[in-house]
Amino acid sequence: MKLHFCWSPAEPLADEKINYFVSLFREIVNHIDPASAHASQRSDVDENISYSQLDSAIVETLIASCEGYFLPVELASLRSFVETHSDSGNVMALVKRRAVIVEQRPQ
């Protein structure tokens, strides 16, 4: 996150703040119903993978979860980071993997 994003006017975040943000993101994503994440693009290399953008409610939940830990200028930068990196295949996009199970019929 430090190297691939211009944090101006905020300073780049310290590693512990980045780790905290990533842990919040993972926690929030773990509560998303996969059926509600609509694919916005399919993978070019694997037909079982598609990408979904974060909807605005998830972004708002994520930013609200960050309040109290991050400075207001850092929150603005985090919001910008999420919004500019959530398109298909980018670091904040959701990756959906289709699971295929082959079962043998009882004989």
- In this structure, is residue 2 part of a structural domain? no
Structural domain of 78 = 15-97
Q: Is the pLDDT of residue 53 over 80?
A: no
How many whole angstroms separate alpha carbon 64 and alpha carbon 66?
A: 5
Burial 83-95 (b: 16+ CB within 10 A, else e): eeebebeeebbbe
Predicted confidence band of residue 27 (pLDDT cuts 50, 70, 90) = very high
Between 99 and 67, whose confidence is greater? 67
- In this structure, is residue 107 part of a structural domain? no
Between 3 and 66, whose confidence is greater? 66
Residue 56: what pLDDT? Answer: 84
User: Any idea which of 2-16, 26-40, 92-106 has the lowest mean pLDDT?
Assistant: 2-16
Quote the mean pLDDT of the chain: 80
How many whole angstroms separate alpha carbon 53 and alpha carbon 82?
A: 10
The residue behind tokens 């773990």 is: 30
- In this structure, is residue 105 part of a structural domain? no
| Number of structural domains the chain divides into | 1
